[in-house]
């Protein structure tokens, strides 16, 4: 009911006569998307979301392949209440929480053990509720406070969807299916991000001047990340640790899509408040050096068809360079 340990999940797969070899292919996918929950600071082991594991295995046993949608539609619709909870917080706090959550950063708080309806529902109460419902989980303790973080990729996708909804309401814009299809085709078949950048540019151009007060590299990166999370063909990661460095955004074809020759994409972001040609060139060069450093690591050297881009944002303008 609460979750499966890794041992219990392996036993379940063994009972369904899934071979050890196939388990080795399936477990990393399930770990990335369904594992990571810890409901007590004293717990010694994290658990997998049991509903999502059963959905995955039921599909796998029925069709003998990995589900195209790793998040069960029924579970995804249940997660819609996350928006209702986040709406209880002020815009500034809400956006800060979404940014940190989607980008994999830690949130430090004291856990509220008893909710009082007469007391204002603030950030501490919101984080506590998100923790109790499994939308955040314990990753550590610091100075008498609990460190919370998003448990896995599937929950991160829900936060990303919510962020995109907020942007769509603010800009009165919505990406239609044909635009998504065009972005995905360009990315997968050509390794290009022209349409991807064009859609992001459209959102940025329609945001009010007030929103630019909180604009930075992280905000722009979050917008690109949230759009990319809708690409079922790709695993999307942000702030991935690559040999003592953290890449901004990487799109790699899912395990089920390998062998189709699809391109992978890595993007490094920078941000400037005002246009200055000299500063722009400097930021572009810095981003290029970081990309070259990442691409010389063993992890990225093994990725086929990898295209590299730097993006420098200056308010609503995006300056894109492909690095050969």
The string of DSSP codes covering 200-230 is HHHHHHHS-GGGGGG--HHHHHHHHHHHHTT
Distance between CA atoms of residues 131 and 82, nearest Å: 11
Q: What is the mean pLDDT of the chain?
A: 86
Percent residues over pLDDT 70 in the chain: 91
Q: What are phi and psi of 249, to 5 degrees?
A: -155, 130
Reported in sequence order, the residue ranges of 228-299 that DSSP labels E, i.e. its strands, are: 234-241, 246-253, 264-272
Query: Per-residue b/e over 28-54, b at no fewer than 16 CB within 10 Å?
Result: ebbbebbbbbbeeeeeeebbbbbebbe
Give whole-number Cα distances, 29 to 23, 24, 34, 124, 215, in Å.
10, 9, 8, 32, 34
Please, which residues have CB within 8 angstroms of residue 271's CB and are 6 or more apart in sequence? Answer: 215, 216, 217, 220, 312, 313, 314
pLDDT at 92 over 70: no
By C-alpha distance, which of 85, 3, 80, 95 is closest to 49? 3
- pLDDT tens digits, 150-202: 999 888 888 888 888 888 888 888 888 888 899 999 999 999 999 999 999 98
pTM equals: 0.83
For residue 283, the number of C-alpha atoms closer than 13 Å in the C-beta half-sphere is: 23
Distances (CA, A) of 151 to 33, 77, 111, 134: 9, 18, 17, 8
Q: Is 161 left (phi over 0), alpha (psi -120 to 50) or beta?
A: alpha
pLDDT reading at 145 higher than 80 = yes
CA pair distance 273, 265, nearest whole angstrom: 26
pLDDT recorded at residue 241 = 54
Rounded to a whole number, what is the distance in angstroms from the first to the last CA of the chain? 50
- Report how far residue 246's alpha carbon sits from residue 242's, in angstroms, rounded to the nearest whole number: 6
The pLDDT of residue 78 is 62
88 to each of 66, 233, 234, how far by Cα in Å? 37, 34, 33
pLDDT in tens, 116-137: 767 677 888 889 989 998 899 9
Say what the pLDDT of residue 34 is: 95
């Amino acid at each position: 009911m609460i979750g499966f340990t890794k041992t219990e999940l392996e036993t379940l797969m063994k009972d369904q006569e899934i071979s050890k070899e196939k388990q080795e292919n399936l477990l990393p996918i399930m770990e990335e998307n369904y594992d990571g929950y810890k409901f007590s600071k004293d717990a010694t082991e994290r658990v997998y979301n049991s509903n999502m594991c059963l959905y995955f295995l039921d599909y796998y046993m029925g069709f003998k392949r990995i589900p195209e949608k790793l998040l069960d539609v029924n579970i995804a619709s249940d997660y819609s209440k996350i928006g209702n909870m986040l709406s209880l917080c002020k815009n500034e706090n809400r956006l800060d929480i979404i940014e940190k959550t989607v980008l994999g950063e830690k949130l430090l708080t004291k856990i509220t053990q008893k909710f009082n309806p007469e007391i204002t529902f603030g950030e501490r109460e919101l984080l506590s509720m998100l923790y109790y419902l499994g939308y955040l989980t314990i990753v550590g303790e610091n100075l008498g406070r609990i460190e919370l973080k998003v448990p896995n990729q599937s929950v991160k996708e829900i936060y990303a969807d919510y962020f995109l909804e907020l942007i769509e309401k603010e800009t009165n814009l919505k990406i239609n299916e044909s635009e998504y299809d065009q972005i995905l085709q360009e990315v997968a078949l050509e390794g290009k991000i022209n349409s991807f950048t064009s859609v992001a540019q459209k959102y940025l151009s329609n945001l009010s001047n007030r929103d630019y007060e909180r604009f930075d590299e992280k905000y722009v990166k979050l917008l690109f990340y949230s759009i990319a999370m809708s690409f079922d063909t790709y695993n999307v990661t942000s702030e991935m640790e690559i040999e003592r460095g953290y890449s901004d955004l990487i799109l790699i074809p899912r395990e089920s899509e390998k062998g189709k020759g699809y391109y992978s994409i890595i993007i490094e972001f920078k941000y400037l408040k005002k246009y200055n040609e000299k500063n722009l060139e400097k930021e572009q060069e810095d981003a290029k050096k970081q990309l070259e450093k990442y691409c010389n690591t063993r992890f990225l050297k093994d990725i086929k068809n990898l295209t590299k881009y730097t993006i420098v944002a200056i308010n609503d303008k995006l300056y894109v360079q492909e690095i050969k």
